[in-house]
Structure 1
Amino acid sequence: MGFKYINEIATPDNINQLLTFIDHVAGAGTDVNEVFDISDLLRDSPQMERCLTWMREDAATAQMIEAQYLGSEYDLEKMLQMPEGSLGWTYARVMSALGYEPHFYRLRNIEKDADYVINRIRKTHDLHHILTGFSMDDFGEAGVLSVTVAQTGYPGWILINLLGMLLDFFGGPQDNGIDVEYDYDILSTGIKIGRDAKPLFPVKWEERFEQPLDDLRSEFNIQPVTEGQWSWYSRPQLRDAIALTEPTAV
């Protein structure tokens, strides 16, 4: 039978590791540190080594990893003073409207390339929400993770998406309004956006915050989701937050 290989991977150690990961994903809804724990547990894994090998195939990404660029810390007050419609302004307006902390991410001490990649992906995660249009809640999270997966093969996000689908399968739409069919749709949408876009990892976004968001999307061939359940644009609170000021009549 074609499924005989399952006996080779369904070892007690692998099953116990899977159960550990499921516990972390199940707890992520109340504690974001559970998400970071998943990536940390994969830091020295063969999957992370494959991710690094893949990422280094892109020259700009390899250079970014070598330089270990992290950029300045996000300052919402400063970003709110940037030009309306810019990446930094939009990010700050959305984060402020949601009451989200821009420094939510947990950074690792950098001892090897995997640590740098983990840190950079964590720091730019919410920027990818802004760039791609995927909402910052359960409905859009799998989509933005899939963009990064399509471009880097980052194992932490792969596993979160896979286990999220598993939990949705058992929980069903009565729990969060999401079912497995929805998961397949949003995963494929995120993967397509990631494959169509230019590499996002090697971009020094902190140095481009004042550029218009629309211009950056055009430059990197990002086709954002701007409507529907998984887009943050469909949230009235956030649409109002980024509404441009009408020019004063002279």
Structure 2
Amino acid sequence: MNDVPYLLRGITKLTTDSSILVSSSKYLNDARLRDWIAEIVLKQNGPDVPAQSEMYPLVEMIDSLRDLPRIEALFTAERAKNPALDAWFNEWFISDYDADYFRQFAPGTLGHQFHEEVIAKNFEIVIYDKPEPKSQLDYFMVRSGQTHDLEHILTGGDFAYMGELVPAWFRITNQFKHLSPELAGELSIMYMFVTLRYTVRTLLHYPDVWQTCQDAVERGMRCGHASDALFMAKYEDVFHLPLADARERLGVREAVFADTSEASARWAARPQRIVA
């Protein structure tokens, strides 16, 4: 035993009759996901593959790996002990607004800021289309897609690459605060993968951006810890309010805005090599 390095002690060699790579992890077993993670965390940025496009194939991968009956059972169990969540599902509210709807809101209101930050800059109101929800998970994902850009504004994340870390880490932290761990984990998987691009890749290739990256993560976590369950918020009721009042009404606390546009622009470019 003394000849075995300390960090290697306790390893048990396992054998298998399988002729292919196999693991107890369904994520590790998925060759597509292994390749995606290796590429996504180790690559440098380049104009040939914009960062936002990197997430598109991941959606299908994660959907194919989800244990849908288990997730539905977790939602049902959570609703039995969480009256607010049960009421939210019973209402099953889905927005039907379009871009023109936000022209009515006065300057200084949440609705006007959403128009200026999202619609006027030609961003899509919903990140990706989902069919009419038939399950509890379907509804949760549809509503999350409708409110993502609003979460940017409410939590203090600007619409730049580093700004994406704020609502992502808000969501992870907020979901674990208000839901049972297993359900929160299932609902946070996509957000965790979103952050891999920004955290690991930044540290490897863009160390001059790291402090901005870390600050965004910390701001999202602080706000997530301090706030009510924003994933159940009905933003439509507060579009007419000033941002500070909307945050107070929805229970969003300790949100701090920071402009990450300059650091995000450096992050999006290839690192410059200094040749001696």
TM range (shorter): 0.7 to 0.9
Q: Which residue of 2 aligns with 1:159?
A: 193
User: Is 1:59 matched with 2:83?
Assistant: yes
Bigger Rg, which one = 2
Alpha-carbon distance between aligned partners in 2 of 1:187 and 1:89, rounded to the nearest angstrom: 27
Give the letter aligned to residue 15 of structure 1. Answer: L
Q: Shift of the alpha carbon at 1:222?
A: 2.7
TM-score by length of 2: 0.66
Q: Which residue of 2 aligns with 1:173?
A: 206
Give the letter aligned to residue 199 of structure 1. Answer: A
Q: Which residue of 2 aligns with 1:226?
A: 257
SS, match of residue 201 in structure 1: helix
- 1:12-23 mapped onto 2 (5 Å cutoff): 14-17=27-30, 18-22=33-37
Alpha-carbon distance between aligned partners in 1 of 2:172 and 2:106, rounded to the nearest angstrom: 31
- 1:109-148 mapped onto 2 (5 Å cutoff): 109-148=132-171
Task: Tell me if the contact between 1:143 and 1:189 (Cα under 8 Å) persists in the aligned partners.
Answer: yes
Q: Shift of the alpha carbon at 1:130?
A: 1.2
Q: Which residue of 1 aligns with 2:96?
A: 72
Q: Shift of the alpha carbon at 1:44?
A: 2.7
Q: Shift of the alpha carbon at 1:92?
A: 0.7
Quick one: percent identity of the two aligned structures? 21
Task: Tell me if the contact between 2:102 and 2:115 (Cα under 8 Å) persists in the aligned partners.
Answer: yes
Task: Tell me if the contact between 1:217 and 1:223 (Cα under 8 Å) persists in the aligned partners.
Answer: no
Moved over 3 A (4+): 1-14, 23-28, 34-39, 45-58, 166-169, 181-185
Gaps of 5+ in 1: 232-250
Task: Tell me if the contact between 1:43 and 1:114 (Cα under 8 Å) persists in the aligned partners.
Answer: no
SS, match of residue 19 in structure 1: helix
Instruction: Flag the 1:12–1:200 CA change in 2: closer, same or farther, 3 A.
Output: closer
Task: Tell me if the contact between 2:94 and 2:143 (Cα under 8 Å) persists in the aligned partners.
Answer: yes
Instruction: Flag the 1:133–1:12 CA change in 2: closer, same or farther, 3 A.
Output: closer
Alpha-carbon distance between aligned partners in 2 of 1:137 and 1:41, rounded to the nearest angstrom: 29
SS, match of residue 80 in structure 1: helix
Gaps of 5+ in 2: 1-5, 15-21, 42-48, 176-183, 263-276
The C-alpha deviation readout for 1:202-243, integer Å capped at 9, x for no partner, is: 222123322222201123143322234279xxxxxxxxxxxx
TM-score by length of 1: 0.72
Instruction: Flag the 1:54–1:15 CA change in 2: closer, same or farther, 3 A.
Output: same
Q: How many residues align?
A: 228
